[in-house]
Structures are given as structure tokens and as C-alpha cells.
């Protein structure tokens, strides 16, 4: 027969084991902060049939998190509403404020990963900007959705769950800023919104880095371009961003848009050229004149999806002192050109940035 003393000590030992296990489980759970900025992932439609007609930026971050209790098994999560806007309305001031908040959080020892919920329209620009200016190895993961949470087969909840899983995983460290959409993990550098109303909207011309399935990440590639801790840019030294304009190339082109952008104060012009960044003969003289006035000229292309603008191919870039955007689409070229101009006005140095980042 077990003595009372032995029974008591056995119970005490078992209780100690249970407490230790639960403390360990608590300690083992990563600390993830979700910064909410708005977009469709916080959107609401009038009926479940409205998958494309809805109002973005309506649902607060705490409600988003409460709607996915399974997230609590992945990480200890806390939410912060940074903005509540549709991302087509992002300004450079929004980018700078978000970058400063991410960099500050990344320094905190009680933050293991950061998720940013964001509208999909300019998500790729924010991801690239943060990839260039936030010096951290910790996972920073942007996520959006193509359908509001009120729609049939809404994609936001699983996207957010997957983003928290990715931000919680130590294997995500050191890969630069990431974008998680539709089960895929992309590099913030080269992902783009390639389709305007389907859940598989996000693509990278160089492919995804991996996948996240049922709360686990599966990696197949890693970025090779400079980013985060390997970047020369740091949000803490950037007070503002120079104005950079984008003009679209097409048949019957004129130089009106380029001149107007420069007159409005643009310090660089991104040419979204036809083909390999080609420039119409009607436009070349104006761009050469603007270059002589100190405006940087960057040849990107309206053609994207797996190639790059080759220097000195369609235009004598060396002779004109122009820059090629390499594989960056016009909207990403705008981000890098603006950052480059916070450090230099030398076109050859700007070109180096476009080749290395």
C-alpha cells in the first residue's frame, strides 16, 4: 500500500513536470508582432458573393487575429494598427514611418518575427523598400489577400496564418523581407502583383523561395542580391525620399510626361519602356536634356516576367550617362532610385546599386 508521504511526493513531482512542460511550451513559442496597415485583408463586402467588390481597410487588427485562433498555437502574437488604408494610397511618408516602426521592433529582444498585413496593390513596393532599409536577420513577412474576409473562400485567414508560421520559423531568418501569399513564400525583392483579381495574383519572375503548408515552411531557394543586414541603406539615416517619377512607353510617344515630372521636382525619371527598355526617338532628346540638368534617367521596361534591361543595348547608356533598372519593374526601380539618390548623384554609382540590390 503506498504511504501518504510517497503519494504526496509523487503528486508534487508530477505537478512539477506538468508546470515545467507548460512553461517550456510557453517559452518555446516565438513572439510575433503583427503590424496592420489596411488593404483587402482587412476588407469587408456587402455579401459573401462579393469577392471583388468590397471596401478595403475596415477590419481592425485585433479582430483579424481573433478570427484565427489557430495562430495562438504557432506563436504569442500581438497586434498593432499602424495605418488603416488601401495600399494604392501609400505615400513615401507611410513607407518611412512603417520602416522606422519595423526597425525599432526588430531591435526588441521580445520580438522574434514581424508580420505586416498590407493591401496587395503596392505590397511589392513596401516589401522591396523594407528589404533595402531594415537591418535585421529576423523574419519580416508581408501578407495580403485578394478577397475580403466576408467573401466565399476568402484567402486572408490562411494567408495570415501562413505568414505567422513563416515569421515564427527560425529557418526564415536571414532571407530578407518575405511575402507570403497563396501558400507561397516570395522574396520581397522580386515578387510582383501579376494578376489583378485572382488569389494566385503574386508571382516572381525568378520563382518563389518556398512554400508554407499547414504551419510549416519548405524552402527551395535563397536570395542572392544584397538585403537587410547586407544593405548600405539604413532607415535610421533616411529622413526623406527624393521624388522619382514614372512614365510609360508606348507607340505615338511624346516627351510631355517626362518634362512635366521633372518640372514638378522629380530627381529621377523611371522610363517604363517598350521591349528592352526602348526609348522612342521622339523622347530621347528630352531625356538627354533632362540628364544634362542633373535628372537621373533610369531605363526600366513595361515588359516584365523573366528578363532584364540590358545596358547599352537599345540605347547608348554609357554615352548618355543613363542607368538601366536591370530586372526591376518600374515601381521597384522607383524605390531603389529614390534610395540611391539619398547617397549619390553619380549615375555610375546609381547603376552599381541597380546591379547589386
Taking the least distance from each CB to ligand DAS, the nearer of 88 and 318 is 88
Taking the least distance from each CB to ligand DAS, the nearer of 147 and 175 is 147
Bridge partner residues of 299 (DSSP): 271, 324
**DSSP letters along 177-194, please?**
SEEEETTEEEETTT-EE-
Residues 30-69 that bind ligand DAS (CB under 6 A): 39-40, 56
Output the smallest distance, CB 147 to ligand DAS, in A: 9
Catalytic residue among 33, 40, 122, 199: 40
For ligand DAS, which residue has the nearest CB?
119
Candidates 44-52, 115-123, 126-134, 260-268: pick the segment binding ligand DAS (CB under 6 A): 115-123
Residues 117-146 that bind ligand DAS (CB under 6 A): 119-121, 144
User: Angle at which helices 330-340 and 347-356 pack, to 10 degrees?
Assistant: 130
**Torsion angle, alpha carbons of 141, 101, 194, 119, to 10:** 100
Residue with cell 498555437: 73
Output the smallest distance, CB 140 to ligand DAS, in A: 18
Give the containing element (helix H, strand E) for 7. helix 4-28
Does residue 40 have an active-site annotation?
yes
Strand 210-213's sheet: what is its strand order?
76-85, 31-38, 113-117, 140-143, 178-181, 184-187, 210-213, 216-219
Taking the least distance from each CB to ligand DAS, the nearer of 86 and 347 is 86
Output the smallest distance, CB 124 to ligand DAS, in A: 10
Taking the least distance from each CB to ligand DAS, the nearer of 56 and 244 is 56
Question: Is residue 159 a contact residue for ligand DAS (CB under 6 A)?
Answer: no
- Three-class secondary structure of residue 167 per DSSP: helix
Output the smallest distance, CB 119 to ligand DAS, in A: 2
Query: ∠ at Cα 340 (337, 343), nearest 5°?
Result: 155
Total residues interacting with ligand DAS, rule: CB under 6 A: 10
Closest CA to 62 of 47, 46, 80: 80
Output the smallest distance, CB 289 to ligand DAS, in A: 36
Residues 264-293 that bind ligand DAS (CB under 6 A): none
Do 184 and 202 form a contact (C-beta atoms < 8 A)? yes
Output the smallest distance, CB 318 to ligand DAS, in A: 39
**DSSP letters along 74-126, please?**
H-EEEEEEEEEE-GGG--HHHHHHHHHHHHHHHH-TT-SEEEEE--SSSHHHH
Taking the least distance from each CB to ligand DAS, the nearer of 201 and 340 is 201
Distances (CA, A) of 356 to 95, 176, 190, 232: 22, 14, 13, 11
Q: DSSP alpha helices (H): ranges in 169-283?
A: 256-263
Give the containing element (helix H, strand E) for 287. helix 284-292
Do 190 and 206 form a contact (C-beta atoms < 8 A)? yes
Taking the least distance from each CB to ligand DAS, the nearer of 90 and 258 is 90
Output the smallest distance, CB 167 to ligand DAS, in A: 19
Binding mask 72-111 for ligand DAS (x = CB under 6 A): --------------xxx-----------------------
Taking the least distance from each CB to ligand DAS, the nearer of 124 and 255 is 124
Catalytically annotated residues: 40
- Site residues (vs ligand DAS, CB under 6 A): 39-40, 56, 86-88, 119-121, 144
Amino acid at each position: 500500500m503506498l504511504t501518504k508521504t510517497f503519494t504526496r511526493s509523487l503528486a508534487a513531482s508530477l505537478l512539477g513536470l506538468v508546470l515545467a512542460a507548460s512553461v517550456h511550451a510557453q517559452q518555446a513559442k516565438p513572439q510575433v508582432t503583427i503590424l496592420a496597415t489596411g488593404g483587402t485583408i482587412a476588407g469587408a463586402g456587402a455579401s459573401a458573393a462579393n469577392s471583388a467588390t468590397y471596401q478595403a481597410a475596415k477590419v481592425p487588427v485585433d479582430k483579424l487575429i481573433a478570427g484565427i485562433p489557430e495562430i495562438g498555437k504557432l506563436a504569442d502574437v500581438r497586434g498593432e494598427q499602424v495605418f488603416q488604408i488601401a495600399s494604392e494610397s501609400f505615400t513615401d511618408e507611410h513607407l518611412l514611418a512603417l520602416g522606422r516602426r519595423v526597425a525599432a521592433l526588430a531591435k526588441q529582444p521580445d520580438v522574434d518575427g514581424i508580420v505586416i498585413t498590407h493591401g496587395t496593390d503596392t505590397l511589392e513596393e513596401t516589401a522591396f523598400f523594407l528589404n533595402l532599409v531594415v537591418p535585421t536577420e529576423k523574419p519580416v513577412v508581408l501578407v495580403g489577400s485578394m478577397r475580403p474576409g466576408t467573401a466565399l473562400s476568402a484567402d486572408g485567414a490562411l494567408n495570415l496564418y501562413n505568414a505567422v508560421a513563416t515569421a515564427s520559423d527560425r529557418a526564415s531568418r536571414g532571407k530578407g523581407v518575405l511575402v507570403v501569399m497563396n501558400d507561397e513564400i516570395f522574396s520581397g525583392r522580386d515578387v510582383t502583383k501579376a494578376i489583378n483579381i485572382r488569389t494566385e495574383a503574386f508571382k516572381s519572375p525568378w520563382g518563389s523561395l518556398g512554400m508554407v503548408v499547414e504551419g510549416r515552411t519548405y524552402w527551395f531557394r535563397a536570395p542572392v542580391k544584397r538585403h537587410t543586414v547586407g544593405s548600405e541603406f539604413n532607415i535610421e539615416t533616411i529622413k526623406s525620399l527624393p521624388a522619382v517619377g514614372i512614365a510609360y512607353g508606348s507607340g505615338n510617344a511624346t516627351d510631355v510626361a517626362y518634362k512635366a515630372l521633372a518640372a514638378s521636382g522629380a530627381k529621377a525619371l523611371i522610363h517604363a519602356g517598350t521591349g528592352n527598355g526602348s526609348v522612342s526617338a521622339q523622347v530621347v532628346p528630352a531625356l538627354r536634356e533632362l540628364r544634362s540638368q542633373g535628372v537621373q534617367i533610369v531605363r526600366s521596361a513595361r515588359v516584365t516576367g523573366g528578363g532584364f534591361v540590358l545596358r547599352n543595348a537599345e540605347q547608348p547608356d554609357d554615352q548618355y550617362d543613363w542607368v538601366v533598372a536591370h530586372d526591376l519593374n518600374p515601381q521597384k526601380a522607383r524605390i531603389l532610385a529614390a534610395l540611391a539618390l539619398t547617397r549619390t548623384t553619380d549615375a555610375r554609382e546609381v547603376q552599381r546599386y541597380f546591379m547589386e540590390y
